[in-house]
Amino acid sequence: MYRTYLKRILDLIIASTGFIILLPVFLLITVFLFFTNNGEPFFYQTRPGKDEKLFNIIKFKSMNDKKDKNGELLPDEKRLTRIGLFVRKTSLDEIPQLLNVIKGDMSLIGPRPLLISYLPLYNAQQRKRHLIKPGITGWAQVNGRNAISWQQKFEYDVWYVENCSFLLDFKIFWLTALKVIKRDGISSNTSATMEFFTGN
């Protein structure tokens, strides 16, 4: 009942209300990033959602597109702009994803939507993370976010899929708020962002 109907209703109500409240912040950050990222304040990327159905995720663009002499993008930490670093540390870069939730591509809470290139790399157990809609935050995010290994992250994701409930989502919602306040687990132990998943 909750997973099939109530979760979507709550997603729609909370995401719509949250976006309206955060609209002034959304517009302000959009203006700043428009000028710091050469007129491109948003980052769009195709990601797999529920049942591996593809959709376009939208986030604030926290990194520029600077490349080295060979035409390759510079490492993440060298492409993070000052305003980009700020919106990442405060998790404000996630605000545009409320539009993904309102549209129905995502949920507020669920496994994070990852890269399409990872799909062939999952084992049968890890693929279960796609049995429900991906989320802006999730069980893995409140248990380490980018500071834990891929294996741990997938275990948390699958556990969430198998135990999804209103009380669990309520718990994750408030733990996420605490994580954002503490700015906890933003980076991995060796990189400004999470390293790429290369398989099991």
80-115 confidence digits (pLDDT tens)? 878 888 888 888 889 999 999 999 999 999 999 999
> Structurally, how many domains does the chain consist of?
1
168-191 confidence digits (pLDDT tens)? 999 999 999 888 877 665 555 445
Asked, for residue 127, whether it belongs to a domain, the answer is yes
Asked, for residue 126, whether it belongs to a domain, the answer is yes
Q: Give me the pLDDT at residue 184, please.
A: 64
Q: Give me the pLDDT at residue 189, please.
A: 47
Asked, for residue 118, whether it belongs to a domain, the answer is yes
125-143 confidence digits (pLDDT tens)? 999 999 999 999 999 999 9
Asked, for residue 133, whether it belongs to a domain, the answer is yes
Q: Give me the pLDDT at residue 185, please.
A: 55
Asked, for residue 194, whether it belongs to a domain, the answer is no
Q: Whole domain around residue 109: which residue ranges?
A: 2-182
Q: How confident is the model at residue 38 (pLDDT cuts 50, 70, 90)?
A: confident
Asked, for residue 10, whether it belongs to a domain, the answer is yes
**Amino acid identity, residue 198?**
T
Asked, for residue 7, whether it belongs to a domain, the answer is yes
Total Cβ atoms within 10 A of residue 99: 16
| Distance between first and last Cα of the chain | 35
**Amino acid identity, residue 76?**
D
> What pTM value is reported for the model?
0.86
Asked, for residue 196, whether it belongs to a domain, the answer is no
**Distance of alpha carbon 57 from alpha carbon 113, whole angstroms:** 8
Buried b (16+ CB within 10 A) or exposed e, 44-79: eeebbbbeeeebebbbbbbbbeeeeeeeeeeeeeeb
Start-end of H helices in the chain: 7-36, 76-79, 82-89, 97-103, 150-163, 166-182
